[in-house]
Amino acid sequence: MQNTFYSDFDRERLVEEVPRDEFRSAFQIDRDRVLHTPTFRRLQSKTQVFWSGEYDFYRTRLTHSLEVAQIGRSICSYLQQTSDLLREDYFIDADLVEAVCLSHDLGHPPYGHAGEMALNALMAEDGGFEGNAQTLRLLTERIFSARKSGMNPTRAFLDGVLKYKTLWSELKAVSADQAPKNHFIYDEQQSYLDWVLEGRDFPVEYIPGRVRDGFKSIECQIMDWADDVAYSLNDLADSVRAGFLSIQKIEQWAEANGMEVTQGSALGDLLGAIRTGKVEPMLGRKIGTYIQAVQIEEVQNFMSAVTNRYHYKLHVDEEVRAESKVYKKLAYEVVFMSPELNQLEYKGNYMLGRLWDILSKRYVLGEDIPYQLLSDDVAGEIEAAEGVGGKRRLLCDYMASLTDGSTSRLYKRLFVPDVGSIGDLVG
């Protein structure tokens, strides 16, 4: 049965492909093209909260993405069963949402948000670095690294990963000429934004920054909430098991922030679960609650008559969203800002900075360093690029593609005496 929620506009690909017999839908093909790439597999060795590889139970970017995809599919199923606005032949495609969720962190570099900030600072004069913008770059231009090409996504899929629709230069213009810290796409990606919107300009009220970035397709909204659910709940479980969230720390934080710790409150439920050793079951139940806290409503905007993807807004119950914010704030202030994690982030930033310095001197600035430090294909592409900015962008691509482990190995081979073998895998 044809799903009439989507049209040929949504299923159109960036480049027209030769038609062939295909048992999969266009959105299933999108999902499968992401799943079978080295870029997706590398997420298993990229930091989510704690450095990957330290302990087996920690979530990585890969397991986080899988959990977000499962939550996203469940939201689609729940909406299909409960919303009067959807029908058997008119529904939000779960395969499309799964593809978007699996892809939402593809562009993140090693060492989590610390690595993202480090690369953004290093690219401050050349258009910056942003994980979401890098995801867009991968999907459209570089995900198949062996042949340096994108995956030729559908419009609905590409739009689904576009959490931000403000260009780097636009954000810089409204932030007193300071280099933007995050929440942008690269200036050279304007053509993809134009294609997603079929050349339509944003109305004047959609000002760059938060207002424009709030303009998301329904699939992107679902991914965004699924990401929040996984981040605010599943990452708490890792923090408790790792000893970063103890009863004493939570109670101290609650007192300092004027938060309730009575039974039935967000922190009270967490404290009760820790005391009884049932943190995972409690958080698992809350995932179900958070999934069922959504509904969709119709909206009108400059794209709603073009595609149903902009005809609906995801509404999340305010109490549930408020509880999620409490858990996110707790994780950020007690776990992410802890000296233990900050020390590791500092080390990650330091390694990325030193690697950038030597590789930039050798391949971007052309200094006389008589050593081949990168593989022939990576070095050749950088050296063949036009201009310093173009070379830096390709070096940034390489740095962002590294995992926590491969960054550490490359650093040790270059800078640590008595470490390294000619047979080491460093990429």
Alpha helix stretches (DSSP H) within 85-208 = 94-103, 112-122, 131-137, 155-160, 168-173, 190-196
Count of CB atoms situated within 10 Å of the CB of 300: 9
Do 209 and 276 lie in one domain? The reply is no
Domain boundary among 159, 185, 213: 213
Do 200 and 78 lie in one domain? The reply is yes
DSSP conformational letter for 147? T
Q: Is the residue at 422 inside a domain?
A: no
Do 67 and 155 lie in one domain? The reply is yes
Evaluate whether 5 touches 217 at the Cβ level (below 8 Å): no
Q: Give the Cα separation of 342 and 118 in Å (integer).
A: 13
Total domains, the chain: 2
Do 280 and 331 lie in one domain? The reply is yes
Do 271 and 165 lie in one domain? The reply is no
Evaluate whether 5 touches 92 at the Cβ level (below 8 Å): yes
Q: Is the residue at 420 inside a domain?
A: no
Do 205 and 249 lie in one domain? The reply is no
Q: Is the residue at 237 inside a domain?
A: yes
Residues whose CB is less than 8 angstroms from the CB of residue 99 and which lie 6 or more positions away in sequence, other chains included: 27, 30, 31, 34, 157, 160
Residues whose CB is less than 8 angstroms from the CB of residue 329 and which lie 6 or more positions away in sequence, other chains included: 257
Domain that holds residue 249: 218-339
Do 224 and 302 lie in one domain? The reply is yes
Q: Give the Cα separation of 368 and 349 in Å (integer).
A: 26
Q: Is the residue at 281 inside a domain?
A: yes
CA angle 349, 121, 427 (to 5 degrees): 50
Buried b (16+ CB within 10 A) or exposed e, 250-285: beebbeeeebebeeebbbbbbbbbbeeeebeebbee
Taking the whole predicted model, whether its pTM rises above 0.75 is answered as yes
- What pLDDT is recorded for position 8? 96
Chain length of the chain: 427
Q: Is the residue at 45 inside a domain?
A: yes
Q: Give the Cα separation of 132 and 183 in Å (integer).
A: 8
Q: Give the Cα separation of 115 and 404 in Å (integer).
A: 10
Percentages (nearest 5) of helix, strand, coil residues in the chain: 55, 5, 40
DSSP letters spanning 320-336: HHHHHHHHHHHIIIIII
Do 208 and 229 lie in one domain? The reply is no
CA dihedral for 309, 310, 316, 322, sign (positive or negative)? positive
Do 275 and 178 lie in one domain? The reply is no
Over its length of 427 residues, how does the chain's per-residue pLDDT go in tens digits? 789 999 999 999 999 888 777 899 999 999 999 999 999 999 988 876 655 555 555 778 899 999 999 999 999 999 999 999 999 999 999 999 999 999 999 999 998 888 999 999 999 999 999 999 999 999 999 998 666 789 999 999 999 999 999 999 999 988 776 789 999 999 999 999 999 999 999 999 999 999 999 999 999 999 999 999 998 898 888 888 888 889 999 999 999 999 999 988 999 999 999 999 999 999 999 999 999 999 999 999 999 999 999 999 999 999 999 999 999 999 889 988 888 888 888 898 999 999 999 999 999 999 999 999 999 999 999 999 999 999 999 999 999 999 998 999 999 999 998 776 666 655 5
Q: Is the residue at 86 inside a domain?
A: yes
What are the Cα distances from residue 359, in Å, to 39, 66, 411, 414?
22, 34, 11, 11
- What pLDDT is recorded for position 22? 81
Do 50 and 160 lie in one domain? The reply is yes
Do 159 and 37 lie in one domain? The reply is yes
Cα of 208 vs its chain's centroid, Å: 20
- What pLDDT is recorded for position 424? 64
Evaluate whether 157 touches 99 at the Cβ level (below 8 Å): yes
